[in-house]
Amino acid sequence: MNDSLRESLSYWSLYKKMLHVRKEIKPQAVSFGTDKQQYFLYYEPKNRTSDKVIVWVHGGGWNAGSPKQFDFVGQCAAKNGFRFFSLGYRLSPKHKYPCQLEDVCRGYQAAVSFLQKKGIDTTKIIVSGPSAGAHLSSILCYGKKVQEQYGVDISPVIGFVGSGGPYRFSEKDSLSVRLLLSQLFAKGYDRTQGEPCALMAKSHIPMLLIQSRHDGLISYSCAERFFDKAKSLGIPCELYSVVDQKNTHSWYTAGMFLETRETNQGLDKFFTWIEQIA
């Protein structure tokens, strides 16, 4: 069975498992814009074991998803002792790029301000995202021109974790990815202005890229190219290949948060890397 078909067939079991997640933490919802999609959910763990804060940007092909839909990710992070933000953003095709990036930048700034008002340390932030969220959050971290344009201060960020991200665009992209990109970008838009590989500049932020060779949507070479670009700029970078049996796109980018560190090596790598980063 090819990986694209495996990815399509995985959705039912993934959604079924999402419905049975125990909600132990009630997140705080905070708006940072006038659109209903411009908000974040904040999770304060019952038993905090880390002074690091995770700011997470959801996936969904830029045209679907919300922090509420991915509540299970926040629940998982909180159970593992981390303060956690889940950022929302306006979706395509109604809203064209760079609306999504603008919202991620605003949401990140709002999250930092939220912590500061609470007197919480903001010097150890981890930015992360899966799939479309990896695309947007990687630009937030490594797009210097974008940071300057939107006045974003990424000095508190000490690490980036991206899983299954479309970090470069190619004619060899799967049909699904090409259709999603056609919805994301307006006709005639210079897509290099939205491509993480093209926008990446030298940075202090180390990165972990989690990628599967059996993704079914995003080519493994996409992460390899981003990894190579980071190394050429002197950015500390690790490329982790998924070894879990559930290794299709949706399972290792989001579904791993439905598992435990004991049962999913990708999830354990995610938290272990964050725990060990200086």
Q: What is the pLDDT of residues 114-146, one digit of tens each?
A: 999 999 999 999 999 999 999 999 999 999 999
Q: What is the pLDDT of residue 16?
A: 86
CATH of the domain at 229: 3.40.50.1820
- Interval 146-170 mean pLDDT: 97
* Torsions phi, psi for 31 (to 5 deg): -85, 145
Q: Are 216 and 253 in contact (CB under 8 A)?
A: no
Q: Are 110 and 117 in contact (CB under 8 A)?
A: no
130 Cβ partners below 8 Å, 6+ apart? Answer: 58, 59, 162, 163, 164, 165, 253, 254
Q: What is the pLDDT of residue 93?
A: 98
Domain that holds residue 100: 3-276
Does residue 64 register a pLDDT over 80?
yes
Give the closest residue to 100 by CA, choosing from 138, 71, 69, 74.
138
Q: What is the pLDDT of residues 91-103, one digit of tens each?
A: 999 999 999 999 9
pLDDT category, 1, cuts 50, 70, 90? low
Domain count, the chain: 1
* Lowest mean pLDDT across 159-173, 196-210, 221-235: 159-173
Q: What is the pLDDT of residue 89?
A: 98
Give the closest residue to 163 by CA, choosing from 227, 254, 92.
254
Going by the DSSP 8-state scheme, the letter that residue 186 receives in this structure is: P
The Cα–Cα gap between 167 and 136 comes to 9
* Torsions phi, psi for 149 (to 5 deg): -65, -40
pLDDT category, 107, cuts 50, 70, 90? very high
> Is the full-model pTM beyond 0.95?
yes
Give the closest residue to 224 by CA, choosing from 68, 102, 232.
232
Does residue 21 register a pLDDT over 80?
yes
